[in-house]
Amino acid sequence: MESFTAGLISLEEAQQKMLSQLTPVTDSLSVPLAEAVGRITATVVTSPIAVPPFDNAAMDGYAVRLADVSSGQPLPVAGKAFAGAPFSGEWPQGSVIRIMTGAPVPAGCEAVVMQEQTETQGEAIVITAPVRQGQNIRLTGDDIQPGHVVLQAGTRLGAAELPLLASLGIAQVRVLRKLRVAIFSTGDELQPVGEPLADGQIYDTNRFAVSLMLHKLGCEVIDLGIIKDDPVALRAAFEEADRQADVVISTGGVSVGEADFTKSMLEELGAISFWKLAIKPGKPFAFGRLNSSWFCGLPGNPVSAAVTFYQLVQPLLATLTGQQKSALPSRQKVRCASRLKKSPGRLDFQRGILRQNAQGELEVETTGMQGSHVFSSFAQANCFIVLERDRGNVEAGEWVEVEPFNALLEA
């Protein structure tokens, strides 16, 4: 292990230290379903009704009584039941009711026979297959009973959850207030996108990336812009961000250079929880507490900023909103089709393309240059290749762990 990586804390230790300090927000509001996409439930949601709300037919066919069927005689059709227009008349013994899928079954119905298992004889039908008690009847409440918990608190509402609530007639849902996240990037060299570049300047990638990911995660973003590498300006930005936000995220200036003031500012205005992790990229990530907000100092290199956002800020925000499903991504082992360069000492998040090879097996290939300033190879990737801290170079054909990107990084 390289000596200058010896004192770095592991990603797991950092995540544990960070997440164990957090208390989820509880302020909530009630919003209409159509405005709830991406929001997080503040309470459990229970069903006000049974689903299905009445016994109904699962097939187009005939509602029957078993005693009538056993006679084997042709059975006259005594009426019709449609979804939305139940049969309401008298149902004479020795007859059947024509019924459509979703229609309430008439009182006394013991089975629904699908029409393909019948033959018509004038005004009557003959059943051509055995009939079982209860067949093709969807019973009241067999999906959901009234009062049943359909969503836990801390559930992100998306295209599966919101239609479920709609199916229960729930028009409003109680959700957590949005987290307020203040962001700024630091660096004398940074220009906002859309401005011409002067000598020595580069475009501000990180604020754009961080803001975009925060919006995707349903946060309210307070964008404080680009802050110069100047302690006075930086202090003002820290204080303003702390006043306004639950979480403050800066990028850049978190290493040890002569224009890197982020860590000393955090020490001066708050308290550092940890700094410097055994991960690559993202080593100088800093986490701590300001007056009334949590602070994450992301490294300036754009891939480092994106990786630390993904691996640390994402679970932080999930925990602050009490989310049940862990935001920590899952990993799997696949064969690596490329040779990978790696020095022991840090857990490496290389960028890869996970795909099926000609034999139908999953394999991963590198996206090429892996420097923490090389955003182009990040943009081609669909997964991280996660290489253990002590591991050295990887030869083609070796097994590696991959972590497919979740929805945060996918289009």
Ligand X SMILES: Nc1nc2c(c(=O)[nH]1)N[C@H]1C(S)=C(S)[C@@H](COP(=O)(O)OP(=O)(O)OC[C@H]3O[C@@H](n4cnc5c(N)ncnc54)[C@H](O)[C@@H]3O)O[C@H]1N2
Handedness of CA 58, 63, 67, 69 (dihedral sign): negative
3 contact partners, CB below 8 Å, separation of at least 6: none
Residue 393 sits at φ, ψ, to 5 deg, of -55, 150
Q: Which of residues 187-226 bind ligand X (CB under 6 A)?
A: 187, 189-190, 202, 204-207
Residue 272 beta carbon to ligand MOO: minimum distance, rounded to whole angstroms: 18
Mark the segment that binds ligand MOO (CB under 6 A) among 29-37, 158-166, 296-304, 362-370.
296-304
Mark the segment that binds ligand MOO (CB under 6 A) among 76-84, 146-154, 215-223, 281-289.
281-289
Interface pick for ligand MOO out of 95, 304, 314, 366 (rule CB under 6 A):
304
Instruction: Name the one residue in this structure whose structure tokens are 């000609």.
Output: 358
The pair of three-digit structure tokens given for residue 41, joined into one six-digit string? 């439930």
Is residue 337 within 8 Å of residue 357, measured between CB atoms? yes
Residue 4 sits at φ, ψ, to 5 deg, of -80, 10
Interface pick for ligand MOO out of 65, 156, 178, 280 (rule CB under 6 A):
280
Residue 345 beta carbon to ligand MOO: minimum distance, rounded to whole angstroms: 11
198 contact partners, CB below 8 Å, separation of at least 6: 191
Q: Per CB under 6 A, does 345 bind ligand MOO? A: no
Residue 372 beta carbon to ligand MOO: minimum distance, rounded to whole angstroms: 3
Is residue 94 within 8 Å of residue 141, measured between CB atoms? no
Helix pair 262-269, 231-244: axis angle to 10 deg? 50
**Taking CB under 6 A as the rule, which mask of x and - marks residues 295-324 in contact with ligand X?**
----xxxx-x--------------------
Q: Per CB under 6 A, does 104 bind ligand X? A: no
Q: Per CB under 6 A, does 185 bind ligand X? A: yes
Residue placing its CB nearer to ligand MOO in the complex, 270 or 299: 299
Residue placing its CB nearer to ligand X in the complex, 17 or 373: 373
Interface pick for ligand X out of 135, 255, 293, 319 (rule CB under 6 A):
255
Q: Per CB under 6 A, does 299 bind ligand MOO? A: yes
Residue 359 beta carbon to ligand MOO: minimum distance, rounded to whole angstroms: 35
* Three-state SS sequence of 348-389: EEEEEEEEECCCCCEEEEECCCCCCCCHHHHHCCCEEEEECC
Nearest by Cα to 354 from 345, 346, 364: 364
Q: Per CB under 6 A, does 6 bind ligand X? A: no
Concatenating the DSSP letter of every residue in 161-182 gives: HHHHHHHTT--EEEEEPPPEEE
Contacts to Mg ion by CB under 5 A: 255, 257, 260
Contacts to ligand X by CB under 6 A: 185, 187, 189-190, 202, 204-207, 251-257, 260, 281, 283-284, 299-302, 304, 372-373
Contacts to ligand MOO by CB under 6 A: 280-283, 299, 301, 304, 372
